[in-house]
Every structure is written in structure tokens, then in C-alpha cells.
A and B are shown apart, each in its own frame.
Chain A
Amino acid sequence: EVQLVESGGGLVQPGRSLRLSCAASGFTFDEYATHWVRQAPGKGLEWVAVISWNSAGIGYADSVKGRFTISRDNAKNSLYLQMNSLRPEDTAFYYCVKDNQRLAQGGYFQHWGQGTLVTVSS
């Protein structure tokens, strides 16, 4: 069974940093691209970032470009999101998502974690 377990969320002040982690199991992690998708409380879904199976392909939404960094460690079956210069509008549930294929483009979101809540507030 595919499992994606996010951690690292919490309350953080504007301008500060936070690092999210996602532990993957139940599939061959290094054969799939993975994403971060977020959802502000009571709002819709917003794609945040993608990383290909070998980290060669990376992409970001314009709203986070230059502030967030996605990375992965295939030896540890883990995905990360380093979030810097956080803003109140970054407040959301952040989901770790497994793609259906290995590239950082053209895939759909096959499996989702349960999410971790990030709250940016003073």
C-alpha cells in the first residue's frame, strides 16, 4: 500500500523559514516524480512544486518561486520542501503527492498524503 506521511508543519512568524518532510513507503520511490500541493483552509487546491525521479527536473509555481526549494533523498525515500520568507498567504495544508510517472512534467497525481498544516502568523 502506498503511504506518504508529511511532517514539519506548525505555526511560524512571517518572514521565517520551515522545512517540510514526506516519508514514502509501499512503492519504489526513486521511480516516480513527486509534488507538493497546498490548500488554504476552506479553499481550493494549488500545485506548489515538482521534482523528477532523479532530481534533474524541478519546477515551481510562480507564487513560491525564489522562496521555496523542493528536494528529495532517494536513499531515504523522502521528499522535502524548504520554505523561506514565509507569508501569511502561505498558510495552508501541504500535501505530498506521488506522480504516475518519473518526469517533472505531464503526469497526474496518483497518491496523496494526509497533509500537514502550515500557519504563518505573528
Chain B
Amino acid sequence: DIQMTQSPSTLSASVGDRVTITCRASQSISSWLAWYQQKPGKAPKLLIYKASSLESGVPSRFSGSGSGTHFTLTISSLQPDDFATYYCQQYNTYSPWTFGQGTKVEIK
């Protein structure tokens, strides 16, 4: 199975900060990568698919980039509603779906 590794595990930031989360795949997944946001007690929510495509209704301050094995999720200006845990996920056709371990974005 393809292993996904996120960094950092926890990130402390302030409202208005630019935040970047990194996700690495154990082998190339082309652009078959999604990002999800999860708030406490809630289900995950899709933010980004195909590495850089913004899901409908998701604020434009969220952006994704990368291909192959290295990917990033960027929040251009952190808002109070963005404090949550973020997961990357690969959906390469010939491998079971796997997630990163998560990155918790906390208030500094």
C-alpha cells in the first residue's frame, strides 16, 4: 500500500497567517491527491481534489499544489473557522485508499 506522511503533526498559527501543510507519498501518485478538513465531532469535508482543484463552495484562500510524491496545502490567510485537522489522501487507481496521519492547526 502507498504510505502518506504529513508534516507537521501540529501547527500553531494566528489569524491572518499563511499556513502550509506538506504531504509526501511513498511512491508516485501523479496528481491523485485530495485534502480534507475535519472539525471536532464532525465528519471530514473535501477541500481539494486532483492535487490542486478546489471543491465547489470551498473558500479561495485554500489552495493545493504538487505532483508525484510531494504535495502541499496552503491557507493564504488563516481564518477563525480554519482551526481544524487536515488530512491528505491518495486515490491512485491500483492501490487501496490511504490517508496521512493528519495535521492539527491550533490557535497560537
Residues on A facing B (Cβ under 8 Å): 35, 44-47, 50, 59, 61-62, 95, 100, 105-115
Q: List the A side residues contacting B46 at CB < 8 Å.
A: 108-111
Q: Tell me the complex Cα distance, A112–B55, Å.
A: 14
Contact (A45, B43) CB under 8 Å given A108-B34, A108-B89, A109-B36: no
Closest-CB distance, A113 to chain B (whole angstroms): 6
Known contacts A45-B102, A95-B44, then 11 further A-B pairs from the complex at CB < 8 Å, ordered by chain A residue: A44-B87, A46-B99, A47-B98, A95-B43, A106-B92, A109-B34, A109-B44, A110-B55, A113-B43, A114-B43, A115-B43
Are A106 and B32 in contact, with the CB atoms below 8 A?
yes
Q: Tell me the complex Cα distance, A78–B29, Å.
A: 31
Q: List the B side residues contacting A59 at CB < 8 Å.
A: 96
Q: List the B side residues contacting A100 at CB < 8 Å.
A: 49
Are B45 and A112 in contact, with the CB atoms below 8 A?
yes
Closest-CB distance, A29 to chain B (whole angstroms): 18
Are B91 and A45 in contact, with the CB atoms below 8 A?
no
Are B87 and A106 in contact, with the CB atoms below 8 A?
no
* Complex A-B: 9 CB contacts under 8 Å: A45-B87, A62-B96, A108-B49, A109-B36, A109-B44, A109-B97, A112-B45, A114-B42, A114-B43
